[in-house]
Structure 1
Amino acid sequence: MLSGIHGHQDIERVVYGKPAGPALRAEAERLGARRVFVTTSKSVAQSALLADIVRDLGDRYAGVYAGVTAHSPRSCVIEGAARAREADADLIVAVGGGSVIDATKVMLIALWQDARTIEALDAYRAGRPKEGAAPPAEAIRPPAGAVRMLAVPTTLSAAEFNAYAGITDQRHGIKESFGHRLIVPQVIVLDPAATLATPMDLMLSTGLKAVDHAVERLCSQQAHPFVLGTATEALRLLARALPAHKQDPEDRATRLDLQFGMWLSIGAGTSGVGVGASHGIGHVLGAACHVPHGHTSCVMLPSVLRWNLPANAERQKRVSEAFGKPEVPAADLVAGLVRTLGLPQSLSEVGVGRDRFREVAEKSMHDRAVLNNPRPIQGPDQVMEILELAA
């Protein structure tokens, strides 16, 4: 019999289908924030989206940090927190993709704990993973009235819907987890127009990351009815909307469907149903080999499904059913979607050769998602088998 705990996150509301600027202004007023600080990337900082947000925040706008780079390095966390501290921010708004949103989550921890150096973050890493769980550091103690964040996602990575963040430690070339229930955004604004300037490849590849969220949870040995409902509907939306978006990028209704699919894809994360080796190996490919997050899902998910098939064939049928093709293997359906979207299909296509496989395999064994894989992974040699399938 299944047993577990379903948690409810500290997200107060999700605003969808409305322009981001006026929505953020209304939320800042509702929360009583008067010093709203924006975090973003260099590319988003040059967009009309950010200009509109700054204009609509008006006298509540307190400044911007536009230095967040891919894979959320610790240096960006510390620098961004320093700029927010100087601005005397009482609310932070993250505008961007998963790297911006994850970095901002840990900026909150740095502000709460007055962490001012890369090394100071060591004390706040999540605990060592055991059977898929990585407990938040007990050292994180938000003060009364702790500054929180809002999020306006510009991609489909879904980072804004969970209370953990993957942050790259440049000293060791690994991605580590930081978590606390209050680092999840208080408010998330899903504005289809916020994705208009996002490059097609990034939109589609982060959409594949959302597919990865849904597939690995549907295939989990811990999956239960809440997971089946959210992840199945996520795949139905994403499998239809991703090709439709490629054909007609101007259709904002399709963009909103993608945002709903992304939201549903990660909804089961609050139920204690974790992801598996596609995510875990992908974390290492990002941190050590600089492969974009979405591309890691494109190249790893079909191979992980094939390697896992002896352990969860019945669960993989759920994926095929969600795609509307119950007779086709799940791995083939995901690989076909990647091919249809014109995204990378192998490690060689993303610049990772066999000379990096052993390093990736050994580092992957420290990732909680690898330890949570439906077919148990006992050591680096089994990760090597998966990498060979993806070569």
Structure 2
Amino acid sequence: MDLPTPFRFAYQPGVVRFGADCTADLAAELATQDIERALVCCGESVGASPVREAVETGLGDRHAGTFAGTSAQKALVEAAGARERFHETDADAMLAVGGGSALDVAKAAAVLIASGQPVNEAAADVAETGALTIPDDDLPPIVSVPTTLAGADLSQVAGLAATPESGGVDEPVGGGISDPKLMPTALFYDPLLFDHTPAGVLAASAMNGFDKAIETLYAANATAISDATAIHALRFCRDSLPELGGGTDDRDVLREAVAGIMLAQYGASRPDGSTLSLIHAFGHGLTAVSDVQQGAAHGAIAPHALTYIFEQTDGRRGLLADGFGVDSDDPAETADAVVDAVARVRDGLGLPARLRDTAVPESGLDRAAKITHEDAFMANAPPGLNTTEAELREVLERAW
């Protein structure tokens, strides 16, 4: 048994509502939190789908208006547009609907609303420091209604991009923000809404969210609390996620998948740091050198990253085995079975097994290894894993 080690678990998640049609309770939850009028923040596709109608109906007279201008770019100009709409509608809360991009834009908009900073100055700050300055003042409450499985919602971080349209930079610059005030005050996990997400989008996002449970278990800052939720997340995900690859209308499968990803996020984003580690660092490196979708990058690299971890450390393989239902007393067999289980989930989701079958160019592997090695998430790598850039390049070569 992997005995718990001493830890401090400082975590303040928002209220979580889970269940079919739980968005019907949006108005009631907002009333409990003294939120009068919420601005719905979403992308164009969600804005034209039945998801928007369900959310706006659930809000009732607490629906201030809708901003359907977010995109995968997560641009500051989008956040500035949401801010303008927020003031136009006299809203007092941001309600993000859709994938991680909608939530990240809503978080950035909340920061801009509180700071009042012009978008060109905000873009210049991102170019200089990689982040927006979080004001001391309270931010507008943020509410989340996810429709993908990437696991960006139960989190206090957000990614963003400063683009030339902002007037503050000459070329696109990526950045991010992290602060406990960015944790949503309420999150609604309604499995019925995931019916409207394209199967390919759902499958790719699921791999990203699934890996959060894996990494939470072997992270250097793992706790007994996050161990428990991560193991149960894997138990839900190992059976449900492979059913999503070709699309499914099985409501029970969707309910298990949504519950699994929700649990995978619990405690992964905390004031004292994230539990994300090697796989997510590889994801950052690979997306930096190509247009590969994050979930596709994770699918190709995750089994090889785990093999690398198990070659050098225990990697808490026993706890991972519990989550995947692996029954073996032999450490080597356990490690192989865990890697195989991850590959089965990837294959069931219909994601590429090799990097060469994605948008990643072989010429970009050297740079991807360098970016991975320098990524902040590497600080959470399992104890005993002493990586070098050359070793990370070798892992990428295996995945290629």
1:235 match: 234
* Per-residue CA distance 1:133-173 (angstroms, 9 max, x = gap): xxx98x422425x3111110001122111111122455776
Change in 2 beyond 3 A, CA 1:56/1:216: closer
1:279 match: 280
Picking from 12, 16, 19, the partner of 1:17 is: 19
Question: SS where residue 289 of structure 1 aligns?
Answer: coil
Distance 1:118 1:349 in 2: 39
The percent of aligned pairs where both chains have the same amino acid is: 25
Q: Do the aligned residues in 2 keep the contact of 1:215 with 1:231 (CA within 8 Å)? A: yes
Question: SS where residue 105 of structure 1 aligns?
Answer: helix
- Give the TM-score of the pair, scaled to structure 1: 0.87
* Per-residue CA distance 1:256-307 (angstroms, 9 max, x = gap): 2112111211223237562212101212433552322222221221121122
Written as runs of structure 1 = structure 2, the 5 A alignment for 1:1-391 is 2-11=5-14, 13-117=15-119, 119-121=121-123, 123=125, 139-144=133-138, 146-169=139-162, 175-246=174-245, 249-269=248-268, 270=270, 272=273, 274-313=275-314, 315-326=316-327, 327=333, 329=336, 330-374=338-382, 375-379=385-389, 381-391=390-400
Q: Do the aligned residues in 2 keep the contact of 1:21 with 1:56 (CA within 8 Å)? A: yes
| Alignment root-mean-square deviation, CA | 2.8
- Give the TM-score of the pair, scaled to structure 2: 0.85
Cα drift, residue 323 of structure 1: 1.2
Q: Do the aligned residues in 2 keep the contact of 1:106 with 1:165 (CA within 8 Å)? A: yes
Of stretches 1-10 and 381-390 in structure 1, the one that deviates more from structure 2 is: 1-10
Q: Do the aligned residues in 2 keep the contact of 1:71 with 1:286 (CA within 8 Å)? A: no
Change in 2 beyond 3 A, CA 1:125/1:219: farther
Cα drift, residue 376 of structure 1: 2.9
| Paired residues, number | 380
Q: Do the aligned residues in 2 keep the contact of 1:201 with 1:343 (CA within 8 Å)? A: no
Distance 1:289 1:363 in 2: 13
Q: Do the aligned residues in 1 keep the contact of 2:281 with 2:378 (CA within 8 Å)? A: yes
2:330 match: none
Distance 2:246 2:125 in 1: 47
Unaligned runs of 5+ in 2: 164-168, 328-332
Unaligned runs of 5+ in 1: 129-135
Cα drift, residue 254 of structure 1: 2.3
Of stretches 185-194 and 106-115 in structure 1, the one that deviates more from structure 2 is: 106-115
Q: Do the aligned residues in 1 keep the contact of 2:115 with 2:134 (CA within 8 Å)? A: yes
Of stretches 50-59 and 252-261 in structure 1, the one that deviates more from structure 2 is: 50-59
